[in-house]
Amino acid sequence: MSSYRPDVRNVIAVAVLALLLSACSLGKSQPTPSPSLPPTPSPTPAASLTITPQTGPAFGTFAFDLSGLQPGEIVRFTIKLPTGKDYVGPPHTAASDGTVTAKYSTGTAGDYTVTANGDKGSMAQAMFTVTPASPPPHTAVPVIHHFATPTPTRRPTPRPTVKPTPKPTPKKTP
């Protein structure tokens, strides 16, 4: 029986090769399965608030046009007054196309910030400026134009055209 004895050099070469291969694979990360996450809800589309006019006189009407809402969403406008106080308006319900239009008027001049908040998470903000009211127009005073007027026509004094014949006065009888 012959005994096979492996060459020590071959054994060492195989061992070194195995070590090199294992060392090279240590730096690489093996793909790990990711845990399944629940699907994230799609973000609410951004609402947009447009105020028309952006600058207008006191006691004028300002239209608040809000779009990008969810149909049926209930919205309230919060208006920050020039005094710093907040005015919260009545609720408005978004139409089927996701819009709301509201009209507001104020008599106080200054800068206003409007924030629209919906009950389903929609939010938008815009500003407008109120200028002082114009003074009321003066009561119309008729303008009198002076034109040269002819001197008034004088009425002629009546004069007889024929001399009257004197009538005898009746004599009194005694």
Q: Angle CA(108)–CA(111)–CA(112) in degrees, nearest 5?
A: 85
Residues 48-98: tens digit of each pLDDT = 999 999 999 999 999 999 999 999 999 999 999 999 999 999 999 999 999
Give residue 58's identity as a one-letter amino acid code.
A
15 domain-assigned: no
pLDDT confidence of residue 148: 42
- pLDDT range class, residue 160, cuts 50, 70, 90: low
pLDDT confidence of residue 142: 43
Query: The domain containing residue 94 runs over which residues?
Result: 49-131
41 domain-assigned: no
Measured CA to CA, the distance from residue 40 to residue 37 in angstroms comes to 8
Q: CB–CB of 62/56 below 8 Å?
A: yes
73 domain-assigned: yes
81 domain-assigned: yes
Measured CA to CA, the distance from residue 157 to residue 155 in angstroms comes to 6
33 domain-assigned: no
Q: Look at residue 116 and tell me whether its pLDDT is greater than 80.
A: yes
Residues 2-56: tens digit of each pLDDT = 555 556 555 454 444 444 444 444 555 555 555 555 555 555 558 999 999 999 9
The model scores a pTM over 0.75: no
- pLDDT range class, residue 115, cuts 50, 70, 90: very high
Q: CB–CB of 102/89 below 8 Å?
A: yes
Q: CB–CB of 134/59 below 8 Å?
A: no
Which percentage of the chain shows pLDDT scores above 90? Answer: 48
Phi, psi dihedral angles at 10 (to 5 degrees):
-65, -40
pLDDT confidence of residue 13: 46
- For residue 59, what are the contacts with CB-CB under 8 A and spacing of at least 6? 105, 106, 107, 133
Q: Look at residue 107 and tell me whether its pLDDT is greater than 80.
A: yes
pLDDT confidence of residue 6: 55
Q: CB–CB of 101/53 below 8 Å?
A: no
Q: Look at residue 111 and tell me whether its pLDDT is greater than 80.
A: yes
116 domain-assigned: yes
Instruction: Look at the chain and report how many structural domains it folds into.
Output: 1
> Domain with 67 in it: what CATH number?
2.60.40.1930
72 domain-assigned: yes
